[in-house]
Amino acid sequence: MKKLVGVFVLSWFFQSLQAQQDSLCNIRISLLTCSPGEDLYSIWGHSALRVVDRSANKDIIYNYGTFDFDDPAFYSKFTRGKLLYFVSVQKFENFLEEYQYYQRGITEQVLDLSCSEKVKLVSALQENAKEENKYYTYDFIVDNCTTRLRDIVFKNANTVTTRDIRSDEKITFRNLIHKYLDSSYQYWSKLGIDILLGTPLDKKLTNNEAMFLPDYLLKGFDSTSISNVNYSRPLVSEKREILKPALSKPKSTIFTPLVVFAIILVLILALSFASNAGKFLSVFDFMLFFLTGALGIFLMFMWFGTDHPECKNNFNIAWALPSHFVVIFFMFRRSRWLKYYFFINSMILVLLLVLWQWLPQEMNGALIPIVCLLLVRSYTQYKKNSGK
């Protein structure tokens, strides 16, 4: 009798397992790629995985780009690189409504996965979505809402091979980020990013790393095939546009950072030859070195005081010296040590300009007028404290 019960239980278990696998064979899994939005955080687009189970009347989205904006320590955690993102599960209709509201497009790529691959992928997604597993420390270039999808799909498929989607083997993270900022005329945001992020952004990308952005993950999936012993097949079996982008094209502006900073440089150079501009220039020098010193302190904090790896090894420290923040309080009186300080600072700035194109970090060209301005005013302070 016990043997019969055991056989019955085992039979029921294997039948349930087979039914589950048969059900998953009818599930459709697809990558959704959302077009860029107007805000800076959405300028690079977004990615999510869609799982459709018609037999259970379910159409859900696994979204790895969710965070708690209502967290009282949100800004502190975000600045220090400690903000946790998490996997959220939502209905497709709600996801679609959100992107319709913001007039952003959605492209769907249906993945041609075997039954066993679907079983593994859905199981992995469900495991990730559990409360104890869903949180992760977000990293903009190596561990984000797009790279997580790349990794979970490739890990749970059979052997995958992806053709090179890079336009150039020398392309860097910064190059791809600039592409989106330039196309949307986000010149001031581009300047801020280039000041804040250091040499890690200038690393040459591997083909796999290029898929850290949604559009490049889309290209990567289009260029990927799944292989087994007998044959290989494309990862994507169907591609369609669910929602067309309706956002109006951004408008360009002539008041780019380069233009604004060049105008300031020309005006200060002109005032330097005016006999009655001494007081104004003294106040200007105080503000100039105060702001660059404060910026230098902030860059040092982001470098050593946060968990943002992209903020390390930042060559912008060469012109935004944190020591300026202390020196400014001694600038209104002559001092021999100030003479040497501004002489050394002038030499650093000259060296920076000479080596600009050969630095291991791509510096924003709009900063050249600022560096020239700092050089001119540093040399003026050197002459002032030399008695010249």
Pair of tokens at residue 227:
């292989």
Q: Which helix (H) or strand (E) holds 364?
A: none
- Which of 181, 213, 243 terminates a domain? The answer is 243
Kindly state whether residue 15 falls inside one of the protein's structural domains.
no
CA separation, residue 146 to residues 6, 153, 214, 252, 373 (Å): 46, 11, 6, 29, 41
Q: Are 333 and 356 in a shared domain?
A: yes
Residues 145 and 231 in one domain: yes
Whether 20 is covered by a domain: the verdict is no
**Which range (25-34, 36-45, 120-129, 172-181) has the least confidence?**
36-45
* Predicted local confidence at residue 93, as pLDDT: 96
My answer on whether 48 and 160 are in the same domain is yes
List the CATH number of the domain containing 80. Answer: 3.90.1720
- The most confident of 53-57, 157-161, 251-255, 340-344, by mean pLDDT: 340-344
- Give domain status of residue 211, yes or no: yes
Site of tokens 């982001």? 302
- Phi–psi pair at 162, nearest 5 degrees: -120, 125
Q: What is the extent of the structural domain holding 231?
A: 26-166+205-243
Q: Is residue 69 part of a domain?
A: yes
Q: How many CB atoms lie within 10 A of CB 183?
A: 12
92 and 239, same structural domain?
Answer: yes
Q: Is residue 248 part of a domain?
A: no
Same domain, 212 and 339: no
Distance between CA atoms of residues 231 and 219, nearest Å = 22
pLDDT per position as a tens digit, 318-346? 999 999 999 999 888 878 889 999 999 99
Indicate if 162 and 298 belong to the same structural domain: no
Same domain, 297 and 325: yes
162 inside domain: yes
Q: What is the pLDDT of residue 56?
A: 87
Least confident of 64-68, 134-138, 161-165, 316-320: 64-68
Helices (H) and strands (E) counted in the chain, each on its own, are 13, 10
pTM, rounded to two decimals: 0.88
Structure tokens at 347: 């030499």
pLDDT band at 186 (very low <50, low <70, confident <90, very high): very high
Same domain, 137 and 62: yes
Q: Quick check: is 182 in a domain?
A: no
Q: Based on the fold, state whether residues 293 and 323 are members of the same structural domain.
A: yes
What is the pLDDT, as a whole number, of residue 335? Answer: 81
CA 243, 247, 248: angle at the middle one, nearest 5?
A: 145
The count of domains in the chain is 2
321 and 293, same structural domain?
yes
Residues 157 and 277 in one domain: no
Residue 176 lies in a domain: no
Q: How far apart are CA 331 and CA 337, in angstroms?
A: 11
State whether 33 and 104 are in the same domain: yes
